């Protein structure tokens, strides 16, 4: 495709979630998690780099406010487990951090910003299995945009957004991007 035809230009066509919405959605997910995990002694939110990790921290903060129940947070880098490594130059690695107690026997909630093909979550499950043996694994995402390529579904969804494959969903967080918002871009490739 010839450059400068607008194909790669993104336009922030629609704001899906404002900062306010985002905070509300996080709060709702936190409530749902509290509800659905009441039977577990230990809950670990494992945020997938890069934006899943700050999301996990925010959700955990919220849970600990609601319930005074201590959930712990970890960070998961799934790069080394990706199935599309050969399509791009080598990616930098991020730190994988586990709670001191590890994840054995815990309920692990994987947290990511956007659920799309499901391949990231597949890699996340593989990465997790090398770190220990959780009692169960659940999945929380801010946006589910459809187009799954693997049999994976989320247990907690902030917002379902029907999209076309030509669109892209951009999650921006204060921690990583300086602003809280989720936008739908047209014909963009993030």
Partner 1 sequence: MKHLLSTHDLSKENALNILDTARMLSDVSDRTIRKLPTLRGRTVVNLFYEDSTRTRISFEAAAKRLSADVINFSAKGSSVSKGESLKDTALTLKAMGADAIVMRHHASGAAHILANSGWIDATVVNAGDGLHEHPTQALLDAYTIRHHLRANEGDLSGVRVAIVGDILHSRVARSNIWLLNTLGAHVTVVAPPTLLPVAVNSLPVEVSYDLDSVLGKVDAVMMLRIQHERMHDAYFPSIREYASRYGLDKGRVQLLPQGSIVMHPGPMNRGIEISAEVADGENSVIVEQVSNGVNVRMAVLYLLLGGAIEGEEKQ
Residue 131 lies near partner 1 (rule: CB under 8 A): yes
Residue 189 lies near partner 1 (rule: CB under 8 A): no
Q: Which one of residues 2, 3, 4, 92 is an interface residue with partner 1 (CB under 8 A)?
A: 92
Burial label, 105 (beta-carbon count in 10 A; 0-12, 13-18, 19+):
middle
* 10 vs 46: CA distance, rounded Å: 31
Tokens of residue 24, six digits: 């509300």
* 190 vs 13: CA distance, rounded Å: 14
Residue 37 lies near partner 1 (rule: CB under 8 A): no
With a CB cutoff of 8 Å and minimum separation 6, the contacts of 90 are: none
Stretch that binds partner 1, among 26-34, 67-75, 88-96, 152-160 (CB under 8 A): 88-96
Q: Which one of residues 24, 70, 91, 147 is an interface residue with partner 1 (CB under 8 A)?
A: 91
Q: Which one of residues 4, 5, 88, 151 is an interface residue with partner 1 (CB under 8 A)?
A: 88
Q: Where are the beta strands (DSSP E) in the chain?
A: 12-17, 43-48, 72-76, 107-115, 136-144, 156-160, 168-172, 181-185
Residue 175 lies near partner 1 (rule: CB under 8 A): no
* Minimum distance, C-beta of residue 33 to partner 1, in the bound complex (Å): 27
Residue 120 lies near partner 1 (rule: CB under 8 A): no
- Which positions lie near partner 1, rule CB under 8 A? 77, 80-81, 85-96, 126, 130-131
């Amino acid at each position: 495709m010839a450059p400068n035809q607008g194909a790669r230009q993104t336009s922030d066509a629609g704001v899906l979630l404002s900062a306010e919405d985002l905070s509300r959605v996080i709060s709702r997910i936190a409530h749902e998690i509290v509800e659905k995990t009441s039977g577990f002694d230990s809950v670990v939110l494992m945020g997938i780099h890069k934006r899943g990790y700050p999301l996990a921290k925010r959700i955990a903060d919220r849970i600990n406010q609601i319930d005074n129940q201590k959930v712990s947070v970890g960070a998961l880098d799934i790069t080394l487990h990706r199935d599309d490594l050969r399509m791009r130059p080598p990616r930098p690695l991020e730190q994988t951090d586990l709670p001191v107690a590890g994840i054995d026997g815990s309920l692990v909630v994987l947290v990511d910003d956007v659920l799309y093909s499901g391949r990231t979550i597949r890699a996340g499950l593989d990465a997790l299995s090398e770190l220990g043996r959780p009692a169960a694994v659940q999945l929380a995402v801010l946006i589910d945009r459809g187009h799954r390529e693997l049999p994976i579904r989320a247990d907690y969804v902030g917002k379902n957004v029907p999209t076309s494959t030509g669109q892209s969903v951009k999650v921006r967080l204060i921690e990583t991007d300086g602003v809280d918002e989720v936008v739908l871009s047209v014909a963009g490739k993030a």
